[in-house]
């Protein structure tokens, strides 16, 4: 990814974590007083003396500015994302109380108002299925079970074709011109996955499709990706074990442009996706609400009888799975963001022996030091040593890139 390493959106104070804005070659934290000094070599200063880090990332010549979405129900920031300058942001968080185990969904569109370009995050689709014939009689295909749609599990490819495209892409003349596994996205999802339910068998599948259609009489190309997740549970019964399957089609993202510009916009869209940061405080509120809705639902179920107690146990499994699902989805976005946004923000990770932890400092420098007082200095001059002529002890830092 080609990004000017001097350009980054923000830098957090290495000592207390407060946000710092770049102002010249020295930054001071208003909260804890930590100082950060950037020292370029003379040759570098002459070459770049007219360049100053800005407040926005630059990708393909287009500035991206940070955008924070505040959930109107909780009043908290739900997530932040980079948005190309001049583009419009539509949608956000929608609460779905009739689905207590996963009571929120994100439906987000970032659109170029003067062109065909757009980036979208689509709502996750949640499904459930069982091979218990008695339960199937009371839960026909297409009905809802605690907000989960009763559907037999499908591959990611078939789920995209049968559910995602018909619901989110009702476009006349749409055709699929290419499809393959979304291996990069699947790798990130699988890396962060933990077993969501005790004794449950977890698996995944993925798909990436290239679509083609016409918008305003202009040819449009779109790429849409998603990951299907399956949790299979063996449930003992009167006639032996039956299988309950809870599955979803999620991590649904798409980007589009005119047919001749989609490839050139790919880096921009990857940057937008990689910048998504879910707010842990908001996630915690969602989990608390979910637990409250779950508890109320189970209390109602417990008044019905023995059959409902079995359903209640199943519902607990759904709830537990989605509690982990929220954490995993946040972890996936965080990992993607970590892999890409350090470059976009122009920062590198360093290990500071004075604090015993990893910090982020501006990239483009070959050396970094710190003091026990929380001061930092960076330089790209191989002959520079801050200990010379100083009454402080400067400790060299080591990079901690993976």
The b/e string for 370-402 (b: 16+ C-beta within 10 A; e otherwise) is: bbeebbbbbbbbeebebeeeeeeebeebeeeee
Output the pTM of the full model. 0.63
CB 241, CB 234: distance < 8 Å: yes
Token digits for 310? 């079995």
Positive or negative CA dihedral for 307, 313, 317, 322?
positive
CB 174, CB 152: distance < 8 Å: no
Q: What is the mean predicted confidence (pLDDT) over 228-256?
A: 86
The whole-number pLDDT of residue 24 equals 55
How far CA 240 is from CA of 131, 235, 306, 311, in Å, comes to 12, 8, 18, 17
pLDDT higher for 284 or 150?
A: 150
Q: What is the mean predicted confidence (pLDDT) over 148-162?
A: 96
The whole-number pLDDT of residue 49 equals 37
Q: Is 165 helix (H, G, I), strand (E, B) or coil?
A: helix
Radius of gyration of the chain from its Cα atoms, rounded to whole angstroms = 25
The whole-number pLDDT of residue 364 equals 67
Q: Where are the alpha helices (DSSP H) in 41-155?
A: 42-48, 133-138
The b/e string for 110-123 (b: 16+ C-beta within 10 A; e otherwise) is: bbbeeebbbbbbbb
The whole-number pLDDT of residue 4 equals 38
pLDDT band for position 284 (cuts 50, 70, 90): confident
The whole-number pLDDT of residue 106 equals 93
pLDDT band for position 399 (cuts 50, 70, 90): confident
The whole-number pLDDT of residue 142 equals 93
Q: Does the pLDDT at position 245 exceed 70?
A: yes
Token digits for 233? 């549970």
Q: Does the pLDDT at position 17 exceed 70?
A: no
pLDDT band for position 229 (cuts 50, 70, 90): very high
CB 142, CB 149: distance < 8 Å: yes
How far CA 31 is from CA of 10, 230, 355, 398, in Å, comes to 16, 46, 18, 26
The tens digit of pLDDT for each residue in 286-323 reads: 888 888 777 776 555 454 444 344 444 554 555 555 55
State the distance between the two ends of the chain, measured CA to CA, in whole angstroms: 17
Token digits for 48? 């770049």
Query: Which residue shows structure tokens 């070659």?
Result: 25
The tens digit of pLDDT for each residue in 175-225 reads: 999 999 998 888 877 766 654 555 578 899 999 999 999 988 899 999 999
Report the C-alpha gap between 209 and 157 in whole angstroms: 9
Q: Enumerate residues 6+ apart whose C-beta is below 8 A from 211.
A: 165, 169, 174, 175, 176, 177, 221, 222, 223, 224, 256
Report the C-alpha gap between 396 and 375 in whole angstroms: 12
Task: Tell me the average pLDDT of the chain.
Answer: 77
Of 87, 88, 126, 119, nearest to 104 (Cα)?
Answer: 126
The whole-number pLDDT of residue 120 equals 96
Q: Does the pLDDT at position 280 exceed 90?
A: no
């Amino acid at each position: 990814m080609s990004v000017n390493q001097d350009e980054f959106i923000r830098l957090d104070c290495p000592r207390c974590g407060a946000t710092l804005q770049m102002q010249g070659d020295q930054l001071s934290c208003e909260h804890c007083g930590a100082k950060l000094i950037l020292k370029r070599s003379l040759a570098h200063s002459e070459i770049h003396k007219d360049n100053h880090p800005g407040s926005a990332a630059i990708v393909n010549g287009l500035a991206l500015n940070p955008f924070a979405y505040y959930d109107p129900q909780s009043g908290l920031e739900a997530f932040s994302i980079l948005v190309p300058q001049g583009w419009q942001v539509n949608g956000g968080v929608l609460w779905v109380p009739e689905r207590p185990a996963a009571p929120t969904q994100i439906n987000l569109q970032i659109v170029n108002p003067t062109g065909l370009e757009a980036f979208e995050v689509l709502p996750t689709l949640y499904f459930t299925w069982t091979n218990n014939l008695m339960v199937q009689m009371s839960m026909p295909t297409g009905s809802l079970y605690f907000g989960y749609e009763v559907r037999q599990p499908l591959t990611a490819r078939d789920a995209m074709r049968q559910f995602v495209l018909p619901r989110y892409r009702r476009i006349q003349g749409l055709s699929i011109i290419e499809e393959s596994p979304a291996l990069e996205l699947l790798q990130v999802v699988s890396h962060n996955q933990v077993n969501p339910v005790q004794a449950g068998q977890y698996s995944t599948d993925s798909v990436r499709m290239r679509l083609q259609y016409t918008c305003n009489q202009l040819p449009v190309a779109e790429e849409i990706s998603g990951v299907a997740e399956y949790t299979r549970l063996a449930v003992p019964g009167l006639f032996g074990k039956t299988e309950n399957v809870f599955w979803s089609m999620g991590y649904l993202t798409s980007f589009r442009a005119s047919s001749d510009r989609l490839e050139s916009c790919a880096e921009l869209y990857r940057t937008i996706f990689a910048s998504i940061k879910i707010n842990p405080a908001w996630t915690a509120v969602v989990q608390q609400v979910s637990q409250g809705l779950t508890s109320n639902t189970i209390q109602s179920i417990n008044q019905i009888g023995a059959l409902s107690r079995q359903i209640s146990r199943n519902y607990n499994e759904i709830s537990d799975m989605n509690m982990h699902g929220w954490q995993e989805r946040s972890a996936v976005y965080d990992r993607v963001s970590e892999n890409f946004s350090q470059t976009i923000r122009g920062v590198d990770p360093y290990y500071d022996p004075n604090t015993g932890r990893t910090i982020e400092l501006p990239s483009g420098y070959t050396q970094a030091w710190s003091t026990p007082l929380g001061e930092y200095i960076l330089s790209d001059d191989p002959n520079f040593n801050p200990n010379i002529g100083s009454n402080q002890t400067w400790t060299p830092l080591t990079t901690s890139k993976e």
